[in-house]
Amino acid sequence: MHLGRTTLSKFLIQQLNTRSDGGKLAALLVDVAAAIKAIAAMTARGALGASLGVTAARNASGEEQKPLDVESNTALLRYCEWGGLVAGMASEEMEEPYAVPEQYQRGPFLLIFDPLDGSSNIDLNVSVGTIFSVLEHPGEAAPTTADFLQPGVKQVAAGYAIYGPATMLVLTVGQGTHGFTLDREIGNFILTHPNLQIPADTSEFAINTSNERFWEPPVQRYVEECKAGKTGIRGRDFNMRWIASMVAEVHRILVRGGVFMYPRDTKTPGVHGRLRLMYEANPIGWIIEQAGGMASTGRGRILEVQPDKLHQKIAAIIGSKNEIERIERYHHEFDSGTDQPYTSPLFSERGLYRPEARR
């Protein structure tokens, strides 16, 4: 066994030593990692853990709650409430913020999390994850909802865990994005992927195409061009993936590049996206940016959006820089009326299905 490896605590103490509250932030992230180890153990038991299926309850966004959603949420609350590090926590699974109980000291941070992202996949034994974000508590008193409503640029730490064949923790404290692998024998997260870098170019995209008719024209244009591959204006073939587990898609993008889109759509009137700004888009957006990628709504940087609700949803288009810039350009051209309507090469003059040939 190689004994000189960098553990999560050693890494955090080194990275955070210039912050006055760096010790406390490191301690909080170690507590989050402890909760993640507990969730990794629960998810790894699969059907043996008797936690599969659904509960009768629904979460704050009206989605079915699984027993593992609830247990993962409880794990994060219990592991992080006691140490005098957080003032309060907010979760995708709880309607209102959670104030630290009176018997514990209140700390300087706010912790926000999606305890089990992609949990619709849990019964299928497909990778799921935990996403978290840390903000500074702006006041002294017990935090109110308004205290949590800070844009993503204010995050002081963000990360996710992926429960796959190996459990990994990927995080940023604003100095690059770094990946750790859980060594189950010694119970420690070990730095295995320092300074992850997303390639600026890619030929891989991920989107739920069953929603195609609800997308805006710039997204339809981008995806059509990718699908046209060598025969279209992109001049090269693209590959598509959809796991329906955001952490798994993001992890793929961090390792080999790509684009992930859950764009604005008209599927549910009044709701302009599927992903939650505070629990998913902000932490993942910062991780992606810190690895050299971009995280956009299509019309601007996700991290600059001022949240107006705790459970607010938003469009998220993230990944390899040159592709995200292109998609933002398509939105801009659409908004300013300067876009070229897309024509599939299959229906063009030289294509297989020329308009007159279809008559």
Contacts to ligand F6P by CB under 6 A = 117-118, 120, 208, 244-246, 274-275
In 3D, which of 237, 264, 234, 240 has the Cα closest to residue 252? 240
In 3D, which of 141, 137, 162, 163 has the Cα closest to residue 150? 137
Indicate the residue whose CB is closest to ligand F6P. 246
- Cβ distance to ligand F6P smaller for residue 25 or 254: 254
Q: Which amino acid is at 108?
A: P
| Rounded least distance, CB 258 to ligand F6P, Å | 13
- Cβ distance to ligand F6P smaller for residue 274 or 311: 274
| Rounded least distance, CB 52 to ligand F6P, Å | 17
- Cβ distance to ligand F6P smaller for residue 274 or 321: 274
- Cβ distance to ligand F6P smaller for residue 221 or 274: 274
- Cβ distance to ligand F6P smaller for residue 189 or 262: 262
| Rounded least distance, CB 64 to ligand F6P, Å | 11
What is the rounded CA–CA span in Å between residue 119 and residue 70?
11
Residue ranges of E strands in 265-321: 275-276, 294-296, 313-314, 316-319
**162: helix, strand or coil:** strand
Which parts of the chain fold into alpha helices (H)? 8-15, 22-44, 67-80, 145-148, 217-228, 246-256, 282-290, 321-335, 355-358
Residue matched to tokens 């995280």? 295
Q: Which amino acid is at 146?
A: A
- Cβ distance to ligand F6P smaller for residue 120 or 192: 120
Cα 39–chain centre separation: 17
| Rounded least distance, CB 278 to ligand F6P, Å | 12
| Rounded least distance, CB 244 to ligand F6P, Å | 4
What is the rounded CA–CA span in Å between residue 134 and residue 76?
13
| Rounded least distance, CB 48 to ligand F6P, Å | 24
| Rounded least distance, CB 246 to ligand F6P, Å | 3
- Cβ distance to ligand F6P smaller for residue 137 or 274: 274
Cα 19–chain centre separation: 26
- CA angle 141–142–145, rounded 5-degree value: 115
End-to-end CA distance of the chain: 71
- CA angle 34–44–251, rounded 5-degree value: 75
- Cβ distance to ligand F6P smaller for residue 11 or 215: 215
| Rounded least distance, CB 160 to ligand F6P, Å | 11
Whether residue 168 contacts residue 182, with contact meaning beta carbons closer than 8 Å, is answered with yes
